Amino acid sequence: MKNTIIVAIAILLFSCTKKLPPVHPDIISEKVQYDTDDPAIWIHPTDASKSIVFGTDKDTDGAIYAFDLEGKIIPSKVIENIKYPNNIDLEYGFKLNDSVTVDIIVFTERERNRIRLFSVPDMKPIDNGGFPVFEDETTLELRRPMGIGLYKNPVDHSISAIVSRKSGPKNEYLYQYQIISDSLGVCTKLIRKFGKFSAKKEIEAIAVDDELGFVYYADEGVGIRKYYADPKKGNDELAFFGGEYFEDDIEGIAIASKPEGNGVLIVSDQQKGQFNVFSRKDNSFIKAINLGTNETDGCEVTTVPLNTTFGKGLFVAMNNEQNFYFYNLEKLGL
């Protein structure tokens, strides 16, 4: 009983603390047309300074924007006429055929109940218009996709997409689709349904740790859930953590990987305007940081040095002013 009281007091004190002094961004991107949501970072294979930050612009006439490391829009890389794109993720080395591999971005297109697949950096669609998701659900509401995370199996190098939706059941909220390329083209195959849901709010943010084999997602009103990314390892929940450190909505999740399983999870505390940092090894809370963003949904990170500005890696966070904030990872003290 005594320990329970101590924990409750600690949580109360944490939630009542004043906002931390902000860490200012190194770069603020140019504005998109409507409503930014979620970023992804593509690292150029031979010249990291030519890497690209992609970001969704949510609207019925939405787009996937592409930015250089100065935050300038790259018009030739923008994908237009997307029906409400929501979340985006990126993976390297998708095998199109025996001789060709490409890097890919995959994003949800909510108003068409599909996920879309484009090659990077040529920005060509390789999905024949998109792949339907949640097809076995009986109502349109239960087929609306939101979040997405890509998993590349380190054993067989297969790539799969883990997709969440605007609303769903208390179990099997997430669907996992293997992305397959064969003589007929690229297609998807449903390989798993899994994941608990509190039914408090919704599930949007998904992040996959390819190296350690875990998928994390934000059950927005209650906490962060952790599962194996490989369906062969089962559907048991491995951890449920962090909810007591958030003011309200738990949003974007970014995984900063370091050698030997070290690194952190950086998670948006949306209404408080801060980010909470958790250990990648044991998911324990480390600290909160204020990056000066407003109502952040999605975020992404790389620990790869990119240029003189981002010499220790790059953290990108959506900001509620139609733009994205770019930070040298070193400034976050991680």
Cα 231 to its chain centre, rounded Å, is 20
5 inside domain: no
Render pLDDT for 191-211 as a digit per residue (tens, 0 to 9): 999 999 999 999 999 999 999
User: Distance between CA 124 and CA 196 in Å, rounded?
Assistant: 35
Q: Is the pTM of this model over 0.95?
A: no
245 domain-assigned: yes
At 4, the pLDDT band (50, 70, 90 cuts) reads very low
Q: Mean pLDDT across the stretch 34-41?
A: 97
The reply to whether 264 falls in a domain is yes
In a domain, 11, yes or no: no
- Residue 133's domain comprises 20-332
pLDDT of 241: 98
- Number of structural domains in the chain: 1
Q: Is residue 3 part of a domain?
A: no
Mean pLDDT along residues 4-10? 45
Answer whether residue 7 is part of any domain.
Answer: no
* CATH number, residue 28: 2.120.10.30
CB contact at 8 A, 195 and 206: no
* DSSP 3-state of 245: helix
Dig out the tokens for 105 from the structure: 């971005």
How far is 17 from 135, CA to CA, in rounded Å?
45
